[in-house]
Structures are given as structure tokens and as C-alpha cells.
Amino acid sequence: MLNKKFIYFIYQGPHYVHAEWAKAIGSIFIHFRIHKWLTYIKGSRRITRSFFLWLRAPKLVIAEGGAPLIEAALVKMNKNASMVYLATDITPYKIIKEKNSLLKDLTEFSDLVIANSKMMMNDMLQTCHLKNYFIVYPFVREEFFSYKQVDEKDCCKGVFFRRFMEV
């Protein structure tokens, strides 16, 4: 047990697709503020970032979205771990419009960037120099959708409506 290496999934949501990816590889889930309620406490970043320095060395750290990238980078640097960034948010927009060079540098610091669409990856490649990248398209769970019957003459068309629910 002492030599076992962990996979940390540092999240801000997490989106159910990311959660499924992380569960599939046996990740340990850690909110980037440890607990969501810490987000509203002054100085919470200092408290939680020092926590990440005390973690056991993982073999891999995954950052879900741009917010936990700093925490994942701390683990990568201090624990000599590989870092994966799940880029499914507005990272390219923030890099271009807000001129967020820290976000750009942290994205480029990642060992692997995974995007959820070709459009997202194209935007990432226009704003960053990525070492290694890949596209993983999200799956669809049928239980999240309500289907409506269509006429036989429209057999090639499907109609569905999104039903909002807590995941």
C-alpha cells in the first residue's frame, strides 16, 4: 500500500462525463477548494493550495477545467507527476479576450490536453503550443433525454429534449 501510486482528479464541478472518465481509471476526487464552501472564505486559495503540497505523490493528476490548473500544476511540480488537462470550458476565450497568460502557460505546462470536441481543440491549438493533445467525444446517457415519437415518413429523424436534473 505504501508504494501504490494514486490518480488525483482535481475538479470544479465535475461534469458527469468527466466524473465517469475519472471513475473509470480509479481516480481520487478532490475539489480544487477542497470543499465548495471554502470558495467564499477569504484566503481559501492559500489554505487549499498548501494542502496540495502535503498529498502523497500520484502517478497522474487530472485538472477538470481551467480553475484547478494551478492546483494540478503544484502537484505536478512538487510530486513529479504527469498532468492531464480536460479542456472543455472557455479557456481559449479567456486566453484571447482576457489576455490570461497564466492560463496559457499552465495549459502548455500540461503533459496532455484532452478536448471534448474538434472545435475546442482547434481553438486550443490557435492559442497554445501543446505538447500532446487528444479529442475524446462525450457519450450520451439515454436517461438524461426524453424522446418523442416521430411519424414513419420521418424515420430518419430523431427528436429529443434535454431534461435538467442533478447529477
Q: Which pLDDT does position 152 carry in this prediction?
A: 57
Give a yes or no: residue 50 inside a domain: yes
User: What are the residues facing 115 on neighbouring strands?
Assistant: 87, 135
**Is residue 159 domain-resident?**
no
Please report, for the domain that includes residue 108, its CATH number: 3.40.50.2000
Per residue in 85-112, pLDDT (tens digit) is 988 777 888 888 888 888 899 999 999 9
Domain interval for residue 104 = 6-140
The verdict on pTM exceeding 0.85 is no
> Which residues are bridge partners to 10 per DSSP?
30, 63
Question: How many structural domains does the chain have?
Answer: 1
The answer to whether residue 43 is domain-embedded is: yes
Q: What is the 3-state secondary structure (H, E, C) of 18-86?
A: HHHHHHHCCCEEEECCECHHHHHCCCHHHHHHHHHHCCCCEEEEEEECCCCHHHHHHHHHHHCCEEEEE
pLDDT (tens digit per residue) in 12-55:
876 677 777 778 888 888 877 666 666 666 666 776 777 777 78
Residue 151 domain flag: no
Residue type, 124: M
Can you tell me the mean pLDDT for 60-81?
A: 88
